[in-house]
Amino acid sequence: MRTLSDSTRQQAQALMEMYPTKEAAMLPVLHLAQKEFGLIDDEAEQVVAEVMGISPVSVRETSRFYFMYHHHPVGKYHLQVCQNISCTIMGAETILDHIKRRLGIEAEERTEDGLFSVERVECIACCDRGPAMLVNDKLHTGLTPDKIDGIIKESDPERKLDHMQSEGNKE
């Protein structure tokens, strides 16, 4: 079974002491655990339960409720594309299609090399600058296919984009 690093355990302990109840540290501790493990799967839930001294059922109720906790591995670069109204009418579907073609994966999937994953997300509160997406914790706005190519290239300079079908040269 995996364990959390000492420093994460200490952070978790400090959080539990900071709040009026230790249970209140659940969301931040799950964030910490996800940062360390890359996801919150069954084992991570049990580690959190053990560290916090609470029932794994409580941990799971929380971890499965919130959409930001991943239960399957995501890529090193996790693209979270807004699919809500303002972004949609500004072309979010085109952006998503472009990403899917460029990376050769569907939404909620990860590339084989583990570098990229794509997720549809709901409104991320920058509707005046859509289409928008988060790549990990960084916000990108006013997306165009070119911008997407730039973001992918910046993340993985080795990645060849030209052999893939792009928006411009699709059949």
Partner 1 sequence: MPELKLVSKNFEYDDQPDIKSAMSRGAYQQWKRVLSEKIPPEDIIEEVKTAKLRGQGGAGFPAGVKWGFVPKDSPKPKYLCVNADEGEPGTFKDRALLEKDPHQLLEGIAITCYAVGIHTAFIYMRGEFYEPQRIVQDAIDQAKKEGLLGENISGSGFNLEVIIHMGAGAYICGEETALLNSLEGGKGWPRLKPPFPALVGAFNCPTVINNVETISGVPHILRMGGEEFAKIGTEKDGGTKLFGVSGHAAKPGLYELPMGTSLKELIYDHAGGVRDGKGLKAVIPGGSSTPILKPDELDIPLEFEAMMDAGTMLGSGAAVVLDETVSIPQVFMVMSRFYAHESCGQCTPCREGCTWVYKTAKKIAEGNGQPSDLDLILDIAPMFNGTTVCPLGAALAAPAVAMVEKFRDEFLKLMKN
Partner 2 sequence: MPEIIINDQQIEVPEGTNLILAARKLGIDIPHFCYHPGLSVAGSCRMCQVEIEQNGRKRIDLACTNPAQDGMTVKTDSPEVKGIVKAVLEFLLLNHPTDCPICDDAGECKLQDYYMLHGLYDNRLNVDKWHKPKVHRAGPNVMLDAERCVLCGRCVRFCDEIWGEKQLGIFGHGSDEVLMNYPGKDLDNPYSGNVVDLCPVGALLDRDFHFQRRSWYLKSVKSICPSCSRGCNTYIHFDTDHDYKSAGKRIMRLKPRYNVDVNRWWICDRGRYGYSSIDNPNRALTPLIAGGETGWEQALTKSETLIRSSLKKPGPDGLALLMAPNATNEDVYLALRLFRDTVKFANLGYDIPSMEKLAADNILLTDDPYPNRRGFKDLGFGSISNTSEAAEIIEAIFAGQIKGLVVCGTNLEGMLGNQIDNLIAKLDWLIVLDTHKSSLMDKASVALPLALPAEREGTFTNVKGLVQKFEKAVEPTGQSLPLWEVLQRLGKRLNAKWSFEETHTVFKSLAEDKPEYDTLNWLATFGVNKGLYLDSW
**CB closer to partner 1, 37 vs 69:** 69
Among 60, 101, 120, 147, binds partner 2 (CB under 8 A): 60
Contact 48, 60 (CB under 8 A): no
Rg of the chain over Cα atoms, rounded to whole angstroms, equals 19
The tokens for 78 are 């996790």
3-state secondary structure of 138: strand
Q: Which of 4, 12, 25, 96 binds partner 1 (CB under 8 A)?
A: 25
DSSP state string for 139-159: EE-S--HHHHHHHHHHH-TT-
Q: Does 64 bind partner 2 (CB under 8 A)?
A: yes
Based on CB atoms, which residue is closest to partner 1, 26 or 148?
A: 26
Contact pattern from residue 122 through residue 161 relative to partner 1, giving x for each residue in contact according to CB under 8 A and a dash for the rest: xxxxxxxxx---x--xxx----------------------
Distance, CA of 48 to CA of 26 (rounded, Å): 8
Report DSSP state, residue 81: E
* Site of interaction with partner 1 (CB under 8 A): 18, 20-21, 23-28, 30-31, 58, 61-62, 65-69, 80, 83-86, 88-90, 121-130, 134, 137-139
Binding residues for [2Fe-2S] cluster: 82, 87, 123, 127
